[in-house]
Structure 1
Amino acid sequence: MQCYIVGGAVRDRLLKLPVKDRDWVVVGASPQEMLALGYKPVGKDFPVFLHPDTHEEYALARTERKTGKGYHGFAVYAAPDVTLEQDLARRDLTINAIAEAPDGSLIDPYHGRRDLEAGVLRHVSPAFAEDPVRILRLARFAARFGFTVADDTMALMRQMVADGEADALVAERVWQELAKGLMEERPSRMFLALRACGALARVLPEVDALFGVPQRADHHPEIDTGDHVMRVLDCAAEQGLPLTARFAALTHDLGKALTPAEVLPRHIGHETAGEAPLLALCQRLRVPADCRDLARITLLSHTKVHCAFELKPSTILRLFKQTDALRRPERFLLMLDACRADARGRLGFHDRPYPQADYLSALLDAALAVDAGGIARQWEDKRTLPEAIDRARTRAIAVRKEQLETH
């Protein structure tokens, strides 16, 4: 029985990045031997065990044989006669197919260290094509490390898409990988890698449709809507925004893909037009409700936020009510963050200030300061109470608005 550290822990150490978790592969052992040594079984599809003391994962060396489409279409063989090289051969990328022995020496039969140094994402073997999730993982690594994709690997992924492998992806796995990619330092790289191989049109057709859609050059010097959305996404990442706001940044302009050709490059009404494709996307990929809800109010309200200084107090209160800001102020502030990323995600606007965010935040504070409970206790006609509270909030917004504009 021999144990080796494998995969991401070895890769990240070689890249001088923090190592969060260590995975081990065990060669020359059976499940019975692992149990006898006190390891606890956790694997459902193949033998994986938790170390009795460290609780790190130890997987028996295994090989895999394709038996059907999709993520679960595999027959797994794990036995003491499977070699380390055979186990590494089934891994997705060369940079993830390096093992470290207990003495610190590296076992690198597929030249992963060379690809790390060159900044290249390359598949280990043609078996890469057997698991469509690997397309998403590779794109996520492109976002994390900024590596380029080897030509033969890109050709293989395009063939996988053409063969329908991407259509077999399970919604939960798609969202899981997309969510991880959205949280990388440059998430746009993930979506551009997916688009380069044709997979974006299969997993996120609503986003893919934005590429090639023109915008007004005076508002969007970058012209192309897809280019703009990628810039917005990276701005959201630079701001350190959470997943909910990054997903909102990705989807805020979906309606522009539905603009009639005869009115391009104008996009009147793209906010409401984008609601149906957004909700369809979220339902298809089973996007969490917090991501869906923030994306929806951002999509519907971002142009109003950009024009905040032109809005009347009554219109501002209507915006607060439409976005449920009076009950969910923290979510409204996240929407403002996404709108800031939208404004800066334009060619030449990256470092521009965005005073609308502080302005609307101050007006929301003024509206929230109104004692609605106090008004309710003194108001006799309960039928007109909501209008009375709205009037009080509108007055508070107007007063604060005048103060801000004066100073």
Structure 2
Amino acid sequence: MKIYLVGGSVRDELLGLPVKDHDYVVVGSTPEEMEQLEFRPVGKDFPVFLHPETKEQYALARTERKVSRGYKGFEIFTTPEVTLQQDLVRRDLTINAIAKDETGNIIDPFDGVADLEAGILRHISPAFSEDPVRILRTARFAARFSFRIAPETLVLMSDMVHNGEVEALVPERVWQEISRGLMEENPSRMFYMLRECGALSRILPEIDVLFGVPQPPHAHPEIDTGLHTMLAIDYAASQNYSLPVRFAVLLHDLGKGITPPEQWPQHIGHEKRSVQLIENLCERIRIPKDSRDLAILVAQFHGKVHNAEVLKPSTIADLLQATDSYRKPDRFTEFLQACACDFHGRPGYARKPYPPADRLNSALSAARSVNAGEIACMLQKKITDSALLPAAINTKVREARILKIKQAQNHSD
């Protein structure tokens, strides 16, 4: 039995990055021997074991054979005769096929170290095309490391798209890779790479159609909607915002992709179209509820937020109510962060102040000082008809909040 450290942990160590997880390949062993050594089996599709003390993953060296479409369409073979190189060759990229033995020696049969030094993402063999998830992973690594994709790998990715292999991607894996890509340092690179190979139009067509769509004159006339969206998600990454914020920023302008430019002066409801598109997209790739709900709020109301400095106190009170800010103040903070990313997502705006956030946070603080319980108790003593009571309470609470918001605005102005 020989044990090798492999994959991302070796790659990240060579790049001088923090190593989060260690993965090991075991050559020359069997499941029975691993269990005798008190390793605990956890793999469903192939033999993977947890170390009895460290709980790190140890996988038996294996080979694969493609038998059907999709990332699960493989037959797995594990025997003591499978070599380290046979195990490494089935991996996706050269930078992920570097191993280190127990004495610290680097085993690099596919020149992954050279590609690391050159900043290149290169596939190992034509078997790359057998797993459509590798398109997403390669684009995600481009976002993580700011590496370029080798021309021959980009051609192979394009062929996979044109051959329909990408259609076999299941929703869970799409979201897993997209969400991880959004959390990288330069998430826009993932979407640019997916677009370059043609995969974006198949996976997220709602995003793909934004490119080349000019912004309306009153918004961001200097760039098109797709480029603006990319600048906005990169700004969100630079601020280390959460995944729901970054996802909301990605989708905030979806409706512009199907709105004829001549309709923009009349401002004919691209927000409503955005909401419908977001709902459809989230259902299709099974987006978690927190990300979906925030994306819908941002699509609906980001335009109104940008105008917060000229909104009436009553309009602001209604906005706070519509965004459920009283019950979910933390989500309201994320909502404002996403709106700010929209503002900052254009050339020369990254360092500009965004006063609407301060104004709305001040308004929320003022409105939250209203004691709704006291108002309800007071009205219960005055109104005998219980059917009329809820509407009366809502009206009085709203009026009190508007007054508090107005007072806060007068004080700040």
TM range (shorter): over 0.9
Equivalent residues, number = 405
Q: Which moved more, 1:305-314 or 1:220-229?
A: 220-229
Partners of 1:63 and 1:78 within 8 A in 2:
yes
Cα distance in 2 for partners of 1:330, 1:62 equals 47
Partners of 1:216 and 1:223 within 8 A in 2:
no
Partners of 1:66 and 1:130 within 8 A in 2:
yes
Cα distance in 2 for partners of 1:58, 1:152 equals 32
Partners of 2:143 and 2:190 within 8 A in 1:
yes
RMSD, aligned CA: 1.2
Map of 1:157 onto structure 2: 157
Q: TM (normalized to structure 1)?
A: 0.98
Q: Which moved more, 1:373-382 or 1:80-89?
A: 373-382
| CA distance 1:265–1:156, change in 2 (3 Å) | farther
Cα distance in 1 for partners of 2:91, 2:160 equals 17
1:403 aligns with 2:399: no
Cα distance in 1 for partners of 2:121, 2:329 equals 43
1:126 aligns with 2:134: no
Partners of 1:215 and 1:265 within 8 A in 2:
no
Map of 1:16 onto structure 2: 16
The amino acid that maps onto 2:281 is: L
The alpha carbon displacement at 1:268 in A equals 4.0
Map of 1:387 onto structure 2: 395
The alpha carbon displacement at 1:329 in A equals 1.5
The alpha carbon displacement at 1:404 in A equals 1.3
| CA distance 1:127–1:331, change in 2 (3 Å) | same
The amino acid that maps onto 1:179 is: S
The alpha carbon displacement at 1:215 in A equals 1.0
Partners of 1:9 and 1:21 within 8 A in 2:
yes
The alpha carbon displacement at 1:162 in A equals 0.4
- The unaligned stretches of length 5 or more in structure 1 are none
Cα distance in 1 for partners of 2:377, 2:267 equals 47
Q: TM (normalized to structure 2)?
A: 0.96
Residue deviations 1:182-206 (CA, integer Å, cap 9, x gap): 1111111111111111111111111
Q: Which moved more, 1:184-193 or 1:217-226?
A: 217-226
- The unaligned stretches of length 5 or more in structure 2 are 384-388
The alpha carbon displacement at 1:266 in A equals 7.7
Alignment of 1:45-64 (within 5 A): 45-64=45-64
The amino acid that maps onto 1:133 is: V
The alpha carbon displacement at 1:363 in A equals 0.3
Cα distance in 2 for partners of 1:277, 1:96 equals 36
Cα distance in 1 for partners of 2:60, 2:266 equals 58
The alpha carbon displacement at 1:267 in A equals 5.3
Map of 1:187 onto structure 2: 187
Alignment of 1:136-215 (within 5 A): 136-215=136-215
| CA distance 1:389–1:218, change in 2 (3 Å) | closer
The amino acid that maps onto 1:128 is: F
The alpha carbon displacement at 1:239 in A equals 1.1
Alignment of 1:190-339 (within 5 A): 190-216=190-216, 219-263=219-263, 268-339=268-339
Map of 1:31 onto structure 2: 31
Q: Percent identity?
A: 57
Cα distance in 1 for partners of 2:313, 2:349 equals 28
Partners of 1:222 and 1:228 within 8 A in 2:
no
Partners of 2:216 and 2:261 within 8 A in 1:
no
